[in-house]
Structure 1
Amino acid sequence: MRKVKLGRSEFEVSEIVFGAWAAGGWMWGSTDRRSAVDAIKAAYDAGVSSIDTAPIYGQGTSEEIVGEAIIDISRDKVEILTKFGLRWDDTKGTLYFPSKNNEGKDIDIYKYAGKESIIYECEQSLKRLGTDYIDLYQIHWPDVTTPIEESFEAVERLIEQGKVRHAGVCNYDASQVQVVKNIIISNQIPYSMVNRGIEKEVLPYCFDEGIGVLAYSPLERGLLTGKIKPGYTFAEGDHRATHPHFAPDFVEKTQDLLQKIQTIADSHNASLHQVILEWTLNQKGISAVLVGARNAEQSVANAQRVHLSGDELSLIQEWADAFAA
């Protein structure tokens, strides 16, 4: 597994980053903790040294699982990426949306990135992760109640204290990135073959400014694996049941695209999602992709690279452009 530097920094991550949202269970229809730990360990053994998590994923569960999975790995051999700015245990900031935790209890999610909250969140994350520093600390979503500069004063303080190595953002547009472009090294944003909105402004801006881009949901929450067909039934609590990209007409349109790409996958004896990840990693400005896994088998499959020719990449690009037209 190749490692890449994030933007202009010297900090490296594996091209495939283990995305630990689903591992926490929240909004994914629960979790199997043992399988989640095994998935992270298998990913590491396959060369995936970087793990992305967040406190909100299972309200601490995902970070605890990550901490358990890496306990026997030398700390300097793994990169931990986590986040701040979404609170379920406080009511400051703005209400993001009501939800339910893994036990089915009603909770409200707030966007808040005040200084004192960031310091508190960092301490809690360090405890759950079982480490004394975070490699990349990212604001999860913009907080309109707190000036961006104020939030990142707190992050800079954490960097000075050695509790955080690098700062990043998630879901920031170009104007927001501009405010902190000299502080951050990355922007984590959604990007997939069927969700390419960032290509218009934020992706080229980050590229020009030397900001690394971590693409999350490159398989569009599992849609691009080809396993989700029209009429698919999701487990209770799975957020995808009401997501527009899983509406019957969108699923059907996507299936037509995937059938074309399947011919290339078959020629390489590879899976559909492996080819799509390869296409994503070859897009200008994309540094690395975040991919989740529920078990060890999925982790190993995600880590396997497929070497596509220039002609194959061009053909896939034509199909993807036609889909977006």
Structure 2
Amino acid sequence: MDYRQLGDSDLQISAITFGAWAVGGWMWGGTERKDAINAIKASYDLGVTSIDTAPVYGQGDSEEIVGEAIKGIPRDKVQILTKYGMRWDLTKGDFGFKSQDNAGNPIDVYKYSGKESIIKECEDSLKRLGTDYIDLYQMHWPDKTTPIEESMEAILRLIEQGKIRQAGVSNYTAEQMQRAEKVVKLASNQVPFSMLNQSIDETLVPYCLENSKGILAYSPMERGLLTGKIKPDHQFAEGDHRTNYRFFKRENIIQADNLLDKLKPLANEKNASLSQLVIRWTIEQPGITAALVGARNEEQAIQNAKAINVTLSDDELAFIDQHLQELELV
């Protein structure tokens, strides 16, 4: 495994990081707890020491699963990345969207990052994770009802108390990062990035490179679309959010499928799966510190971790990029 410094912080993370959204079940059609725990353990055994989660993933389920999976591992050998600022248990802040919990009960999700709310969320996360500190604590989404400065003051207090090591954000613009940094030093920004979605290249990547900030790429597999297993007639389980997600429009699935057909010979030449090729391409991109990759079971986790063994030359990266430029997604 490759380990990379997150920005100019003292935090080292694995270039392939375990993304624990799906194991929480929420918006993914449920979860099998035992399979999820085994997936995280299998990843760790292959050098994936960093795990990214959030309270809202399964309304606490994902964090509890992560906490259970890392029991017995020396705490300084694993990096826990979690978040704050998405509340489903109060009606305050910036309304996000309506959803359902894993039991099918309706919930309203709010983006809220008030000072006292952050302090409470941190305490709740520490309990669920079974730890006394969080390595990277990230604002999940910007909250337009709370000044960024107020939120970051809470984070500064938590750093001073030793409850978090580093401050991060997620889904922030470069301008929002600049504003946050007037209060607390940021290590990173977690943003969507994949072969099909490279919009951060325009402003965010240059900013992070210039200011020594890490970038954590989430959804590098575009929520499973780039595995090659999803075809235009794919039927999703009830509660799976991908049914209405842009990249899963029939036209885009067809285009992604055609792209993967063109990349398959290169993957075969590398004795790698398409997923492994995609993961390796992602962590080779300028500014990207790590790719957050989810797995629902042990076998998926092992295959993801082994993507680190794939090597891509400059010519091969250029070959991939040439085909990406031909995409015309709707």
TM-score (norm 2): 0.97
- Contact 1:137/1:167 (CA < 8 Å) preserved in 2? yes
Number of the residue aligned with 1:318:
322
- C-alpha separation in 1, matches of 2:147 and 2:243: 35
Number of the residue aligned with 1:25:
25
| DSSP-derived class of the 2:238 partner | coil
- C-alpha separation in 2, matches of 1:143 and 1:94: 6
Number of the residue aligned with 1:206:
208
- C-alpha separation in 2, matches of 1:265 and 1:104: 40
The correspondence of residues 1-20 of structure 1 with structure 2, limited to 5 A, is: 1-20=1-20
- Contact 2:9/2:166 (CA < 8 Å) preserved in 1? no
Of 296, 309, 313, the residue aligned with 2:313 is: 309
Once the two structures are TM-superposed, the CA of residue 324 in structure 1 deviates from its matched residue by 5.6
| DSSP-derived class of the 2:207 partner | helix
Number of the residue aligned with 1:91:
91
| DSSP-derived class of the 2:325 partner | helix
Please say if 1:271 is aligned against 2:286: no
Please say if 1:60 is aligned against 2:64: no
Please say if 1:175 is aligned against 2:191: no
Structure 1 stretches of 4+ with a deviation exceeding 4 A read: none
- Contact 1:55/1:82 (CA < 8 Å) preserved in 2? yes
Count residues with an aligned counterpart: 325
The one-letter code of the counterpart of 2:248 is F
Once the two structures are TM-superposed, the CA of residue 309 in structure 1 deviates from its matched residue by 1.9
Once the two structures are TM-superposed, the CA of residue 10 in structure 1 deviates from its matched residue by 2.1
- C-alpha separation in 1, matches of 2:153 and 2:314: 44
The one-letter code of the counterpart of 1:214 is L
| Cα displacement string for residues 164-220 of structure 1 (whole angstroms, at most 9, x for unaligned residues) | 110000000111011123511100000000001111111111111111000000000
The one-letter code of the counterpart of 1:43 is S
| DSSP-derived class of the 1:301 partner | helix
- C-alpha separation in 2, matches of 1:90 and 1:193: 37
- Contact 2:218/2:293 (CA < 8 Å) preserved in 1? yes
Number of the residue aligned with 2:159:
159
- C-alpha separation in 2, matches of 1:29 and 1:231: 18
Number of the residue aligned with 2:247:
245
- C-alpha separation in 2, matches of 1:132 and 1:3: 23
Number of the residue aligned with 2:44:
44
| DSSP-derived class of the 1:156 partner | helix
- C-alpha separation in 2, matches of 1:225 and 1:84: 30
| DSSP-derived class of the 1:137 partner | strand
| DSSP-derived class of the 1:323 partner | coil
Once the two structures are TM-superposed, the CA of residue 245 in structure 1 deviates from its matched residue by 0.5
The one-letter code of the counterpart of 1:239 is H
The correspondence of residues 122-161 of structure 1 with structure 2, limited to 5 A, is: 122-161=122-161
Once the two structures are TM-superposed, the CA of residue 7 in structure 1 deviates from its matched residue by 1.1
The one-letter code of the counterpart of 2:266 is I
The correspondence of residues 78-117 of structure 1 with structure 2, limited to 5 A, is: 78-117=78-117
| Cα displacement string for residues 268-307 of structure 1 (whole angstroms, at most 9, x for unaligned residues) | 1110011111111111111111000000100110011201
| Cα displacement string for residues 202-252 of structure 1 (whole angstroms, at most 9, x for unaligned residues) | 111111111100000000000000000111000000000111111110000
- C-alpha separation in 2, matches of 1:176 and 1:320: 29
Number of the residue aligned with 1:223:
225
- C-alpha separation in 2, matches of 1:111 and 1:244: 22
The one-letter code of the counterpart of 2:274 is L
Flag structure 1 segments of 5+ consecutive residues without an equivalent: none
- Contact 2:141/2:170 (CA < 8 Å) preserved in 1? yes
- C-alpha separation in 1, matches of 2:52 and 2:64: 13
Number of the residue aligned with 1:262:
264
Flag structure 2 segments of 5+ consecutive residues without an equivalent: none
Number of the residue aligned with 2:195:
193
Name the Cα RMSD after superposition. Answer: 0.9
- C-alpha separation in 2, matches of 1:269 and 1:279: 15
Once the two structures are TM-superposed, the CA of residue 19 in structure 1 deviates from its matched residue by 0.2
- C-alpha separation in 2, matches of 1:262 and 1:133: 43
Once the two structures are TM-superposed, the CA of residue 322 in structure 1 deviates from its matched residue by 2.0
| Cα displacement string for residues 60-119 of structure 1 (whole angstroms, at most 9, x for unaligned residues) | 000000000001101000000000000000111011001000000000000000000000
How much identity, in percent, do the aligned residues show?
59
- C-alpha separation in 2, matches of 1:88 and 1:10: 33
TM-score (norm 1): 0.99
Once the two structures are TM-superposed, the CA of residue 255 in structure 1 deviates from its matched residue by 0.8
